[in-house]
Amino acid sequence: MAEKMELNEVEVWDGNYAAAQALRQAQVDVVAAYPITPSTPIVENYGAFVANGYIDGEFVMVESEHAAMSGCVGAAAAGGRVATATSSQGFMLMIEVLYQASGMRLPIILNVVNRAIASPLNVRGDHGDMYAGRDSGWIQLDAFNAQEAYDLNLCAFKIGEDINVRLPVMVHQDGFLTSHTAQNVYPLSDDEAYAFIGDYKPVDEMLDFTRAVTYGAQTEEDWHYEHKAKQHRALMDSYTVIDRVFAEFKEKTGREYKRLESYLMEDAEVAIVALGSTVETALLAAKQLRESEGLKAGVVAPRVFRPFPFNEIRDALANVKAVAVLDRSCPMGAMGALFNEVSAAMYASPHRPLITNFIYGLGGRDFSLEDAKAIFREQKGHADVGYITTPLQQFSGLRGPKLGFYEMKRSK
Amino acid sequence: MALTSIKNLKEFSTANERFEGAHLLCPGCAHSMIVRELMNATDDNLVIASATGCLEVCTAVYPYTSWDTSWIHIGFENAATAAAGAEAMYKARKRKGTLKDPDAPVKFVAFGGDGATYDIGFQWLSGMIERGHDVTYICLDNENYANTGGQRSSATPVGAHTSTAQAGRVSYGKKQKKKDIVAIMAAHGAPYVAQLAPNKWKIMAKGFQKALETEGPCFINTVSACTTEWKFNPKDTINITDLATDSLMFPIYEIIDGRQLNILYRPKNVIPVEEYLAAQGRYKHLFKPENRHVIDMIQKEVNERWEYLQRREEAGV
Ligand SMILES: Cc1ncc(C[n+]2csc(CCOP(=O)(O)OP(=O)(O)O)c2C)c(N)n1
Ligand code: SF4
Ligand SMILES: [Mg+2]
C-alpha cells in the first residue's frame, strides 16, 4: 500500500508540483514519461514520490516522448489509470500517438506545460504545443495558475474515465509562468481527492482473459469515417460530463469552474478573449481600467479549449461592441486559431461585435499589464467609431516596425 | 493441448486456435506460420502487440479480427512499447489487487516486421530491452517493407532487388550489408536472443518456449519468406526456407545472457548460396555474368559468418 501524505490546508506549490501531487493522489497505475523543460519537475517529483513509497503504481522512464505516449496507450488498454507530462518538442514527438490514443478511446491524462516550438529553439512558454493538439481528439483543459493545475488534474481523471466519455484529457498550464511560480494552493486530503476521482473502472481491458479484445484495428473507407464521426460526437457531447464534474468539484471545494470563464462581462463594452496565465493579466488590466478610466472592460477565457465552448462564446460576447482575441501561437499564414473560432461563433450570432486578432507572447515574450490595457483601449476606440481602425491582425509586444495584416472592409 | 505432449507437425499445427485461419495474408506467407507457432508454444494467456505491417493490416480489418486473444496495434515503430506498457500495467494491477483473475498466467509478446524492428522501431525496441520488461519480441524478418510494396530495409541483404534499391543497368540491387540485429540485441544483455526459422519448427517452438519462460526481455529474429517480394511460388515457402537455413544464409542459433552462443541447427549438407539465390526472383539479376562477383561476395560473407559463429560457440564467451 502506498504511504499517504499529510498535506497542509494551504501549501505553497508551483504548477508543476501541484500537478504531480494530483497524479499521486489519483493513484495512477502507470506513468510512462520522458523529461523536457518546463514539465520535467512533474516527472521528477513523481519519481520522488515513487522513491519514497507514496506510489504503488509503475513508473516507466522511457527513451522518448513518442515511447512515453506509446507506453501509456499499451498500459491504458490493459485496464488501469494512466498519466504523463510533456512540453513543446516532446509534445510534437508524441503527436502521432496522441491521435492513436484518442482513436482507441483511452482515457489517458497528459499534463502539457505549454512551451514554444522550435525552430528557433526556445524553452519559454507559448501555446504552440497546445494548439498543435487541437485536432487530436483529446479534451483540453486550461489552467491559468497552480491551484487550477491541481484542481483540473483531479477533474480530468473523472471526466476522461467517465463511461460516457472515455477520451484522453490534456491539462494545460503555461511554462514557467504557471509551472515554476510558487503560489498558495489549497489541496484536498489524499482520501478526499481519491474519493472524488473514484476507482478506475476498466473497459475492454486486455487483462481480462475471458474476453478477447482487439485494439487498433484497420479501417478503410468503409468504416473509418463512421469511427471518426463517432469519436467527434463523443468529444462534442463530453461537455455534459464536464459540466457535471465541475459542479461536483464546486460542491466539494467551493471552487467553481466553467467551460467558458467570463470575468466582468455583465456590463462590458469591450473584451479580451485569451487562454492561459494571460487571463489573469487581462483581468487585472480590466479591473484597473474600470477604476481609472471608467472603461467597461471584461475578459472571456475558454477553460475548456476542446470541446470548444461555441455557444458559450456566443452568449458571453452577446452584448460587447469590440473584442480582441489573443493568440499565443504564431498562426503562420493565417489568422490566429482562437480568433477564427471566436469569429465563427459570433458570425452565427445575430449580434456581431468588431473582432480583431492579436498575436503576442511568442517564446515567452512578456505580456504586461500595459500591453493588455493598450489592447482594451484600442477596442474602446473601435467601439466608439463603430468600425475597426487597425489591421485585423496585429502583433503585440513585437520589436521593430508595427506588423499588421488585413484591413476591415466596410460598406457604408 | 500442452506443447510438451505434442509429437508431430499435424498435431502441432492444429493444437491451438487462438490465431484464426481467416486472414488476408498472401497464400504461402510465412508470417502466419511463425505467429501460430508462437501461440502454440504456450498455454498461458497472451497479450500481443503488433507493429504496422503485413501481419497487422491482414489480421485486424474491422469488423473482423483473427486474434482470439488480447491484441493491440498502435503504430509502425512502437509495438515493443505497447507491450511494455501493458506489462507495466499488469505489474501495477497485480500489486494493487485489481486484476479480475490475479492467478491467470500471462505472457507479453510483440511482433514487428524487419522494417518495424531494424529501422523505424529500433529505438523503441532498444528501450524496452534496456528497461528489462518481461516481453518477448519477435521480428518477422522478410527483409523488406512488404506491406508497402517491397522497399529496402536495413535487413535487406546485399544484392537483393527492392523497389527503393533497384537492380538495373548499372546497379546490382542493394549495396549495403544486412544489419546484425541479433548481435545488437545480445549486446543489450537480453537474457535470451535467437535467430529461428519456421522450417525447423521443433527448434523454433523450443526457442519460443525458452523466450516465453525466461523472465525479462527476449528477442527472436525469425526468417519469414515472403512469396510476393522474394518472388517464388507460394507453395514453396518451406522449400525456400530450407534453402535459407541449409545454405547458412540464415544460421539458426541462440545467445544466452549476451554471451553463450549455441548453434541450434547444423545442416548435414551445406548447399551453395547460389541455390538459395537462384530460387527467388529478387536475385535474378545476379545471374548475369557482370554480377557474378556479387554472388561470390555473398558466399564469402556467409562462410566467414558461419566460421565466426562456430568459434564464438566454442569459445563460450
Ligand atoms: C510512421 C510510419 N511510417 C511509415 C508507415 C508506412 N508503412 C506501413 S507498414 C510499412 C512497412 C512494413 O515493413 P515491415 O516492418 O518489414 O513489415 P512487413 O510488412 O514486411 O511484414 C511502412 C513503410 C507507417 N505506417 N507509419
Ligand atoms: S507481401 Fe509478403 S509478407 Fe506480406 S502478406 Fe504477402 S507474403 Fe506475407
Ligand atoms: Mg518486412
For the segment A257-269, what is each residue's pLDDT rounded down to a tens digit?
999 999 999 999 9
Instruction: Give CA–CA dist A373/A281, Å, rounded.
Output: 10
Q: Which of A182, A381, A240 is nearest to A297 (CA)?
A: A381
Q: Supply the residue whose CA is at minimum distance from atom 26 of ligand 1.
A: B76
Tens digits of residue pLDDT in A322-348: 999 999 999 999 999 999 999 999 999
With pLDDT > 90 as the criterion, what percentage of chain B qualifies?
A: 93
SS3 A322: strand
pLDDT of residue A168: 98
Q: How far apart are CA A174 and CA A274, in angstroms?
A: 13
pLDDT at B14 over 90: no
Q: What angle do CA A208, A210, A212 make, to 5 degrees?
A: 75
Task: Report the distance separating Cα B28 and Cα B226, nearest Å.
Answer: 8
Question: C-alpha angle B220/B225/B231, rounded to 5°?
Answer: 155
Over 60: is that where the pLDDT of B294 sits?
Answer: yes
Put simply, the answer to whether B70 touches A97 (Cβ < 8 Å) is: no
- Inter-chain touch B127–A64, beta carbons under 8 Å: yes
Instruction: State the ipTM, two decimals.
Output: 0.96
Q: CA B188 to CA B217: how far, in whole Å?
A: 10
Minimal Cβ distance to B75: which of A58, A100, A223? A100
- Give me the residue spans of the domains in chain B: 9-315
pLDDT score of B11? 76
Q: What is the residue type of B246?
A: D
Report the pLDDT value the prediction gives residue B207, as an integer from 0 to 100: 98
Q: Does the domain formed by A11-253 have CATH 3.40.50.970? A: yes
Please tell me if the CB atom of residue B254 comes closer than 6 angstroms to any atom of ligand 2.
Answer: no
CATH 3.30.499.10 fits A261-405, yes or no: no
Instruction: Please give the average per-residue pLDDT across B218-222, as a whole number.
Output: 98
CATH 3.40.50.970 range(s) for chain A read 11-253
**CB of residue B42 inside a 6 A radius of ligand 2:** no
Spell out which residues of chain B touch residue A212, defining contact as CB-CB under 8 Å: 65, 67-71
**What CA–CA distance (Å, rounded) separates A300 from A283?**
9
pLDDT digits (tens, 9 = 90+) for A175-188: 999 999 999 999 99
Cα end-to-end span (Å), chain A = 73
Query: With contacts defined as CB-CB under 8 Å, which chain A residues touch B131?
Result: 60-62
Distances (CA, A) of A179 to A149, A182, A342, B44, B92: 9, 8, 27, 46, 29
The three-state secondary structure class of A128 is: helix
Q: Assess whether pLDDT exceeds 70 at residue B3.
A: no
- What would the pLDDT profile of B50-69 be if each residue is shown by its tens digit? 999 999 999 999 999 999 99
> Out of 3.40.1360.10, 3.40.190.10, 3.10.450.50, 3.40.50.970, which CATH number does the structure's domain B9-315 have?
3.40.50.970
